[in-house]
Amino acid sequence: MQIRGFNQFGWYRGLIIIRPMYILHRTFFIGGNDMKMSKMLIPTLREVPAEAEINSHKLMLRAGLMRRIASGVYAYLPLGFRTFKKVEKIIREEMDREDAQELVMSALIPAESYKETGRWDIFGPEMFRLKDRGDRDFCLGPTHEEIFTQTVKNGVKSYKNLPMTLYQIQTKYRDERRPRFGVMRCREFVMKDAYSFDMDEAGLEESYQAMYRAYSKIFDRCQLDYTVVEADSGAMGGSGSQEFMVKSDIGEAQIAYCDNCGYAANDEKAECLEPISSDDVKLLPIKEVKTLNVKTIEQLCEFFSCSAKTFAKTLIYKADDIVVAAIIRGDRELNETKLQNHLNCNELIMANDEDIFNATNAKVGFAGPIGLSIKVIVDLEVKGMVNFITGANKTDYHLINVNINRDTKNLEFVDIRTIGVGDQCPKCQNDISIARGIEVGHIFKLGDKYTKALDCTYLDQNGKSQTMLMGCYGIGVGRTMASIIEQNNDEYGIVWPMSVAPYQVIIIPINISNEVQATLANQLYTSLQENGVEVLFDDRKERPGVKFNDAELIGIPIRITVGKKAGEGIVEYKVRRTGDMDEIAVEKVITRVKDDISTL
């Protein structure tokens, strides 16, 4: 199927016009010429706006990098936009190095594109939807698998053109239920998304590894401390995916990692091993116990005066309208991703009171594995539990001394719990550690999920039609920028790595009204600019303290102060990150700056 206005020549013509404008703007013009602070929009704040909670968000507002437009929608101000463009530039360079081709798709997308793969419905309320004047459905693109696949389908016919990786750096729209933490999780955000198209598995693997290399270099160049973790690929299908996680306490994802063997995985994905059961405990006969109004695990612990580990809790879920039961040890957390993958369903929600009553014949709080007629999935760990307590499927009753192998049959045993502290590494059995991370990048082997649905094929050497295999790869640009701040700040403000600093140097004349200082500072400013250094000139009629504080807040790596010794041709040179400070002759500034730019 062809999208209107999107035929083979249409999109190609579009590229010719749009791409040069876009690239010129974003790649080469990091900024204008006059970098005098007295005329620039850098609205720093002394106090933290009430809207911000985490460090990076507070600092981005205080340093005048951005402002909120609506919940989850932000504007980047001049200083913030410079860093933003630098991150984009790094991404662009590393993508290009791996022979990915840049293009730009539209953000406004007709519904048909998503209807064919079913995602028009699957996305649900997370997709921003709108209609044109002819009442046709459109959306603001949340992600572009369909569009890229269609474009490649129409533009690539032969094995001779493969493999091919395309990417764009473009604004995405997702109507998040709860935007959070400034640009970390927002509703309008810029994403670098790339899509690879290959002939076979081996090719996909190669394209995937190329992106792995590119991503590692990108985050290295941003000086981020990150880990690559195994990620869940269930809902998207495909054969594997990894996330690039920036270690941070404010991260929304939990990572399970092993210091011994290097295993690291998102906790949605991390496997839990089946514990070795000991057989020397005597199995006792089942007994029914009246537990009037004792429903929760806490209440049960108190009632039976024992720990949560002696219970098996039964959770009732609705998987695409089918009611199922999931059983895990009382103190464990159910991993909904694992359960959803096992059930292979689109939607998994906790059942309501009515469904629970119909399924268990009892009020909420008294469900158990024995006598249930619905599908029951039991966590591997429960297999080894001896004489445990569980609901009796009868209001106000529990059963004690239940043993799953003895007392039930035909249940499915699956790993459905979330890994936690005290668990073992699935690879080497050492103790696993848990940390939090911010997902800044995700690489994904999609396989034929989209190419098959959209019939994206090529002709092989034998003239036979084959389905292409696809990978997709995303980086959140704003999120990366915020993560850099999250990992690089101190009590005074941001400490930008040189590679992404909005300016490399800031010149501060102590007293701009002093002619000697003003002249020297101006000369220095001009000669640094002539030498290709990105320099900010604080020519404001402010007291020194104000300028120093602002310079530190906005995090410029090198500060040059022109003060008392201006007459002798001596200035003060300070490195933001280390705090190292010394006085040097003006003539030596250029060399020193160039040196520091290449090493810091």
Partner RNA sequence: CGGGAUGUAGCGCAGGUGGUAGCGCACAUGGUUUGGGACCAUGGGGCCGCAGGUUCGAGUCCUGUCAUCCCGACCA
Positions in the binding site for RNA (CB under 7 A): 44-51, 53, 68, 70-72, 123, 126, 142-143, 177-181, 235-236, 241, 243, 252, 336, 340, 347-350, 439, 442, 444, 472, 474, 492, 510-511, 513, 541, 543-546, 548-550, 552-553, 561-565, 572, 574
- 279 phi, psi to nearest 5 deg: -100, 0
Neighbours of 387 (CB within 10 A): 15
Shortest separation between residue 366's beta carbon and RNA, angstroms:
22
CB nearer to RNA: pick between 66 and 402: 66
- Minimum CB separation of residue 24 from RNA in Å reads 29
Between residues 45 and 284, which has the closer beta carbon with respect to RNA? Answer: 45
Structure-block tokens of residue 363: 């009020």
Secondary structure of residue 120 in the 3-state scheme:
helix
Q: Please state the closest distance from residue 72 (CB atom) to RNA, in A.
A: 6
Q: Which of 115, 107, 246 lies closest to 188, judged by CA?
A: 107
**Nearer of residues 460 and 542 to RNA, judged by Cβ:** 542
Q: Which residues contact 598 (CB under 8 A, 6 or more apart)?
A: none
Select 184 or 400, whichever has its Cβ closest to RNA. 184
Nearest CB to RNA, comparing residues 71 and 430 = 71
Which DSSP state fits 284?
Answer: P
Q: Are 192 and 95 in contact (CB under 8 A)?
A: yes
Tell the smallest beta-carbon distance from residue 44 to RNA (Å): 6
Q: Which is nearer to RNA, 109 or 400 (CB)?
A: 109
Residue 465 CA to residue 67 CA, distance in Å, equals 51
Measured from the CB atom, is 179 or 502 closer to RNA?
A: 179
Contacts of 523 (CB under 8 A, 6+ apart): 586
Query: Minimum Å distance from CB 286 to RNA?
Result: 32
Q: Which residues contact 515 (CB under 8 A, 6 or more apart)?
A: none
Nearer to RNA, 27 or 216 (CB): 216
Q: Which residue in this structure is represented by tokens 């992600």?
A: 143
Choice between 104 and 348, CB closer to RNA:
348
Show the 3-state SS of 551-592. HHHHCCCEEEEECHHHHHCEEEEEECCCCCEEEEEHHHHHHH
Q: Which residues contact 300 (CB under 8 A, 6 or more apart)?
A: 291, 294, 308, 311, 330, 389, 398
SS3 per residue for 468-496: CEEEEEEEEHHHHHHHHHHHCEECCEECC
Question: In whole angstroms, how close is the CB of 70 to RNA at the nearest point?
Answer: 4
Take residue 318 and report the two structure tokens written for it. Answer: 């609705």
Give me the least distance between CB of 102 and RNA, in Å please. Answer: 19
Least Å from the CB of residue 581 to RNA:
7
- Category of 86 on φ-ψ map: left (φ > 0), alpha (ψ -120 to 50) or beta: alpha
For RNA, the closer of residues 151 and 335 by Cβ is 335
CA 16: distance to chain centroid? 32
Neighbours of 465 (CB within 10 A): 10
Least distance (Å) between residue 488 CB and RNA:
17
Q: Which is nearer to RNA, 39 or 409 (CB)?
A: 39
Structure tokens at 394: 């009868």
Supply the Cα-derived Rg of the chain in whole angstroms. 29
For the CB of residue 110, give the shortest distance to RNA in the complex, in Å.
18
C-alpha count within 13 angstroms, C-beta hemisphere, residue 35: 25
User: Among 35, 66, 64, 94, which residue's Cα sits nearest to residue 190?
Assistant: 66
For tokens 């959306």, the residue is: 139
Closer residue to RNA in complex, CB, 285/545: 545
CB of 202 to RNA, least distance (A): 22
Long-range contacts of 41-50 (CB under 8 A, 24+ apart): 41/77, 41/78, 42/77, 42/78, 42/79, 42/550, 42/554, 43/77, 44/550, 44/553, 44/554
To RNA, the closest distance from the beta carbon of 372 in angstroms equals 21
Residue type, 477: V
- Closest CB to RNA among residues 5, 49: 49
Q: How far is the CB of 251 from RNA (least distance, A)?
A: 11
